[in-house]
Structure 1
């Protein structure tokens, strides 16, 4: 793994890390995610040295063949010397083709027009230009060079080849070399585009994983609030009652202490399960089953045992037939409504009404009148109702809440309940 300091994340090393000598240094530099940070040119690989030496050898061979075809009878001696010196310098300049492809190609136009032995170096220069630079450079420089070919053979005719044949052969050879270079460049661009696609796919996968983790944590946070708020509210209400009524009868004190002990035990159990899910890294189903609408009777009975006055009006023919998502959401809405009623209206009678049928939806209505007398202050952030609204919206329903004219409070929610697929 290669790590970049700063805000950049650790990125995996390129797949060619163990076979760098098989790839061009320019391609490795383009594929290396840290190349721009180092600020230096890539070193030649073994493949680069082999290709550069082959190009140099090709330029020398072509130059020697051209020099062998030149004789003092058809070429002045001074021009022969100049031609060969320029050809030797052009072959040596081939080693600079990677650093200065444009400059070398431009320089080879006048040199190639004067020197016949520099033809091989010129072909190598145009090939390098096509590989390392965009097409507009190849079009302009290559076009000028090809336009001068007829003039070159007009001034220096080939003794063993007709004029038109020599021009056509040279133009065809130059076009083939440039086309080969463009093909090599297109293959490299394809590899770079595939690299970019792979990186984008990897980045999107990381973002999707992070989003899934965030959604899972939000779901766990909502579940933690719904479960623990109910338990801890019982603790707070009964502890507050003991604080404000120290002279309460022994039976009432014992019952309140029992509720506090049982609620604390349940809260610890719920917290232990939630922490276990967080440690496991995923929301699995290893804990207790999630509550459904059928567990609403148990929730109301628990509230009554804690001293609450709760009236349940469950007008659903078969609570077990309610979809799990809708039933679980309805249960959490009723649980939060009872929790808020115990917080802000202790002693008031709470009415929980649940009605619905397949195709009509499920309606949950929780209502409590205004509290009597002074109410002990129980801290709260109001996030419970916000979380319930989000939960109902995610389930495809809606939730409304607010104060009544008589000072009471109500929560009304509707959840979708589609018909069975067979109907």
Structure 2
């Protein structure tokens, strides 16, 4: 018998036998025949068995060995039949051992316990009906019980090992699938982060380009000084857009480290510079900065506030050109950071500036990731408002990068 048994799975169609299965079946058949031949010789030399019964014993044993080929299809039925046949035939001992082994491999313990237990309990009766000529009764019974128990134990070991290997293989497959899903999720999050960062960084600059280029297009007869000023803003915005693009690429290459790009990531301290750039571009911006020390704000919170203000100014420039934008910033450690960007309705006609419409969605994601909240919508005067609150922990050193 071989330990390379494949346990059958209930409810599943039996697969076609492989070359290994055929080899195992032939090995089991030859083992049953070899043990049966030893038993046939013992029966022929046993003075307690008549010649006629010895011949019948050998015929029954031969049929039992042939029935071994049915062990995969009907393991329970074969085991029951072999237990009954072993009562009247010593030559069927090999077939009984193969049947018990197969039963232990292919079926749960409740079948093995009942059928194997019956086989062991019948041992005293078998040796009482047909005593062994050379071995005492008690020794023969103990030897038969030991052989049957060993065969059953070996079969249960093979079954447990097979189930363990199947479990480990399924676990490895699940782990591989989970690793693939985690990798795909990480790639998706990375793409979302890249898209959000690209939008936040470049939308502000490119909006300046679009607004001033549109102004030149609609007012070709503008004074020379105004044309020169608009061209300068376009040139400066294009230069800053390229610098910001290098910054984002540097951050991505550096694994999120803003210093790897050569320019640090903007924090709350850069808000006044942002407002100054917007004023130079022709916007009317009123900044009410009520945070005494911008450097005390955690880097991640300050960067999020900067991006919110940047997006608010960008949207105001696109949808309310000429309107005065109010930026209010306040907060303290433990109370959080409050940022508000408001603009009244546009005083004149609004030129169409292309946009993705994803800026406010990205800001909501940023604020949520930072542990804060953001609200935006129409104001009471018909304008637009963006109100955000971000946590500012009073404990030092709690700020981290998003």
Q: What TM bracket, shorter-length normalisation?
A: 0.7 to 0.9
2:216 matched residue in structure 1: 242
2:361 matched residue in structure 1: 386
1:192 aligns with 2:166: yes
2:325 to 330, 340, 350: 350
Distance 1:198 1:289 in 2: 43
The within-5 A match list for 1:309-328 is 309-328=284-303
Q: Which ranges of structure 2 fall in alignment gaps of 5 or more residues? A: none
Residues 94 and 125 in structure 1, CA contact (< 8 A), matched pair in contact too: yes
1:9 matched residue in structure 2: none
2:54 to 65, 80, 84: 80
2:193 matched residue in structure 1: 219
Q: Encode CA deviations 1:266-307: one digit per residue, 9 max, x unaligned.
A: 3345446656777x6965653342111111122111111111
Relative distance call for 1:72 and 1:300 in structure 2 (3 A) is closer
Question: Mean Cα displacement is larger for which, 406-415 or 155-164?
Answer: 155-164
Residues 63 and 116 in structure 1, CA contact (< 8 A), matched pair in contact too: no
Distance 2:14 2:25 in 1: 25
The within-5 A match list for 1:244-263 is 244-263=218-237
What displacement does 1:354 show?
A: 1.4
What displacement does 1:318 show?
A: 1.9
Relative distance call for 1:320 and 1:273 in structure 2 (3 A) is closer
Aligned residues: 393
Residues 216 and 282 in structure 1, CA contact (< 8 A), matched pair in contact too: no
Distance 2:322 2:181 in 1: 49
Q: Encode CA deviations 1:213-259: one digit per residue, 9 max, x unaligned.
A: 22222111111111122122112211222233222111111221222
Relative distance call for 1:229 and 1:197 in structure 2 (3 A) is same
2:4 matched residue in structure 1: 24
Distance 2:228 2:17 in 1: 82
Distance 1:160 1:37 in 2: 49
Distance 1:277 1:59 in 2: 75
Structure 1 residue matching 2:289: 3-state secondary structure: strand
Question: Mean Cα displacement is larger for which, 225-234 or 102-111?
Answer: 102-111
Structure 2 residue matching 1:337: 3-state secondary structure: helix
1:155 aligns with 2:129: yes
1:333 aligns with 2:308: yes
1:132 matched residue in structure 2: 106
Distance 1:222 1:317 in 2: 30
1:367 matched residue in structure 2: 342
Distance 1:39 1:69 in 2: 40
1:17 matched residue in structure 2: none
What displacement does 1:145 show?
A: 3.3
Question: Mean Cα displacement is larger for which, 221-230 or 73-82?
Answer: 73-82
Residues 59 and 119 in structure 1, CA contact (< 8 A), matched pair in contact too: no
Residues 67 and 84 in structure 1, CA contact (< 8 A), matched pair in contact too: no
The within-5 A match list for 1:277-288 is 283=256, 285=258, 286-287=260-261, 288=263
What is the TM-score when the length of structure 2 is the normalising length?
Answer: 0.84
Residues 216 and 283 in structure 1, CA contact (< 8 A), matched pair in contact too: no
1:296 aligns with 2:263: no
1:210 aligns with 2:184: yes
